[in-house]
Structure 1
Amino acid sequence: MDTYDHALLGFALRWSGYGGGDDYIFTEFGIPPRVFYQRVLWMVEKRLASDLDLTMRQQLREHCLAKLTSFQEPR
């Protein structure tokens, strides 16, 4: 993982307990929240976030999935 990926994970960890900080994602990283959560989820599921313990990875995974679900448009 590069420094950008570490920054994404750090942001996700800091803000996951406060709703995610979606209003700051684009200005901080230049990507929309949906892409942010997809990328963080990918890193967690591919175990690239090896410095996180299993519990923290699971919590972050659940947070990302919940956020991605909330972005889906109603049918």
Structure 2
Amino acid sequence: MDTYDHALLGFALRWRRYGGGDYYIFTEFGITPTIFYQRVLWMVEKRLASGLDLTMRQQLREHCLAKLTSFQETQ
């Protein structure tokens, strides 16, 4: 993982308890929340986020899936 990926993961971990911080994602990373959660989910599922224990990995996976589902429902 590069520094950008580490920043994405750190942001997701910090903000998951507070609803995700979707409002700040574009200004922070230059990508939409949908792309952000897809990328974080990909990192978690491919086990690129090796510093996370199994419980944290599962919680982050569930958070990303819930966010992506909510975006689909609003379209």
TM-score scaled by length of structure 2: 0.97
- Equivalent in the alignment of 1:31: 31
- Equivalent in the alignment of 2:43: 43
Q: Please tell me whether residue 55 in structure 1 is matched to residue 44 in structure 2.
A: no
Q: Please tell me whether residue 7 in structure 1 is matched to residue 10 in structure 2.
A: no
Paired residue secondary structure (1:50): coil
- Equivalent in the alignment of 1:18: 18
Paired residue secondary structure (1:62): helix
Q: One-letter code of the match for 1:25? A: I
**4+ runs deviating over 6 angstroms:** none
Residues 3/21 of structure 1: CA separation in 2 closer, same or farther (3 Å cut): same
TM-score scaled by length of structure 1: 0.97
Where structure 2 has 5 or more consecutive residues not aligned to the other structure, the ranges are none
Where structure 1 has 5 or more consecutive residues not aligned to the other structure, the ranges are none
Paired residue secondary structure (1:31): coil
| Cα separation, 1, equivalents of 2:54 and 2:17 | 17
Alpha-carbon distance, 1:74 to partner: 5.8
| Cα separation, 2, equivalents of 1:35 and 1:15 | 16
How many pairs are equivalent? 75
